[in-house]
Structure 1
């Protein structure tokens, strides 16, 4: 049985649209339309218990999940939603112990989610150029208790010649022009390493796919994920009038080796052989011509 104590994270849940995520502080309370909720009243209770407000309304004391942290995250930029996060993790095979490269930290929702999977033996190396957003992301990552599994870098990988990390298992790219970093990402990934790019438009998918093929990536797949909520109630179950439709397109691929370097070497070898053969042929022809000329002069002299 897990009891709530000072500094414990708690999701105060009233309904799907009214819920509050906080760390318990016995001297704090907050005012809502359903009444005043005192933190001290939650201390000592088991997760899943309910708490009455001064207006005789109740809230449930739930233990927050990563989904709750992501949906309550402070937004500095557009976040990657759970409906997309789940597919990214499953398709890329993200698991404990892996090293993850992220380009474009944003608000840190994807960063936090991935860190929660690869911990405790894995690590996320995330790169961004906007210090303002990086500070927001740092707070969000810290709030979810995952700071020790994330290293933030203020570095523009689109222009930097540096290769800061290598042998990454998965690369996650959230940029407006992801195709620019593909050659560099290839150098940072291990063989067969996966890549996922977040693309708001189909034009981006087209340019990205061309860059992936050019840089020897295979198993390329572009998808869109739409979720529809169902309001299930006795005798009147129906689709919800609210929901999350299109958020982004996802592009997946894996690093491969097309044998292009070997093919070039073979071509060069063939060219060299051909050149030698041609030279030999020319030498032989010249030798024959010289011999023929000497014979002709000898006959003329006689």
Structure 2
């Protein structure tokens, strides 16, 4: 049985073509690709790539400037944060939440819209494996080209489960009976009709948006459509800690707000969700509210 795509590049001694992440004594990272006969140069001196080819991970190499560097393969979060970018990437903390809260499983049939630089595509492909299917849609050709190069650079070859289409999701979506849809775009509510048609009953849609106005419009549109379960909006924040002897405290900087996630499940054809037991608080839908609930004559808006 052959190994999943990219697995051979994640274990064993360093090989030509592998990505290597060097860490210097100050914790700074340098990432490069191993090539026979080449040299790695920094302001702290240089060393030959051949010194790492065939060596195990966790090797320490010394430059001509007498500086030691720890050599490891970059983890996927490291790779994503250092990859060439066209569009901003989804941070690993959000990608991890998407994989968990959208329940991305091995062999899943997934549709993704808004590929950007390919960060989330890489996370999704590693989760679904060669037996899954990922159909990605990106409006911009330049972003699609960057994403394809990044994904192939990580896996070492084109991934057999990936199909990348340049164009709008609404106009080009042909997949049906899919398990999950991930939307990373400015106006995900414009795609929800197409998403509903593509999802299998019980399938899940997950939207990634940056602002509270986008969050509100997405959630209210899902409610008005009456074909999804009650949307679940949330965000995550990551704070590292300083630990040095008895000096244990949170770091001064943290990864705070990067985006909101909204998840909802598709109902069976012809089924409407049960009425919400908790009514909106008075004033939630005031006279100045111009969201989809008001446009559709939602009783809560009156």
TM-score range, shorter chain: 0.7 to 0.9
Residue 258 of structure 1: CA displacement? Answer: 7.4
Cα distance change on mapping 1:235 and 1:57 into 2, 3 Å = farther
- Which one of the candidate residues 112, 120, 124 is aligned to 1:110? 120
Structure 1 counterpart of 2:242: 231
Structure 2 counterpart of 1:57: 67
- Tell me the distance in 1 between the aligned counterparts of 2:184 and 2:228: 18
**Alignment map for 1:209-288 (pairs within 5 Å):** 209-215=219-225, 216-257=227-268, 259=270
Residue 133 of structure 1 pairs with residue 143 of structure 2: yes
Residue 151 of structure 1 pairs with residue 155 of structure 2: no
Task: Give the match's secondary structure for 1:25.
Answer: coil
Structure 1 counterpart of 2:152: 142
Task: Give the match's secondary structure for 1:187.
Answer: helix
RMSD: 1.9
Structure 1 segments, 4+ long, off by >3 Å, are 257-261
Residue 236 of structure 1: CA displacement? Answer: 2.7
Structure 1 counterpart of 2:110: 100
Residue 208 of structure 1: CA displacement? Answer: 0.7
Residue 226 of structure 1: CA displacement? Answer: 0.8
Task: Give the match's secondary structure for 2:14.
Answer: coil
Task: Give the match's secondary structure for 2:265.
Answer: strand
Residue 5 of structure 1: CA displacement? Answer: 2.2
Task: Give the match's secondary structure for 1:232.
Answer: strand
User: TM-score, with normalisation over the residues of structure 2?
Assistant: 0.80
Larger Rg: 1
- Tell me the distance in 1 between the aligned counterparts of 2:24 and 2:139: 39
Cα distance change on mapping 1:47 and 1:227 into 2, 3 Å = same
Structure 1 counterpart of 2:297: none
Residue 147 of structure 1: CA displacement? Answer: 2.8
- Tell me the distance in 1 between the aligned counterparts of 2:136 and 2:17: 28
Residue 124 of structure 1: CA displacement? Answer: 1.1
Residue 6 of structure 1 pairs with residue 19 of structure 2: no
**Alignment map for 1:66-85 (pairs within 5 Å):** 66-85=76-95
Q: Contact 2:93–2:236 at 8 Å: present in 1 too?
A: yes
Task: Give the match's secondary structure for 2:202.
Answer: strand
Unaligned runs of 5+ in 2: 1-10, 273-302
User: TM-score, with normalisation over the residues of structure 1?
Assistant: 0.80
Aligned residues: 259
- Tell me the distance in 1 between the aligned counterparts of 2:127 and 2:150: 16
Unaligned runs of 5+ in 1: 262-302
- Tell me the distance in 2 between the aligned counterparts of 1:95 and 1:242: 33
Residue 17 of structure 1: CA displacement? Answer: 5.2
More helix by share: 1
Residue 199 of structure 1: CA displacement? Answer: 0.8
Residue 219 of structure 1: CA displacement? Answer: 4.2
Residue 194 of structure 1 pairs with residue 204 of structure 2: yes
- Which one of the candidate residues 158, 164, 171 is aligned to 2:174? 164
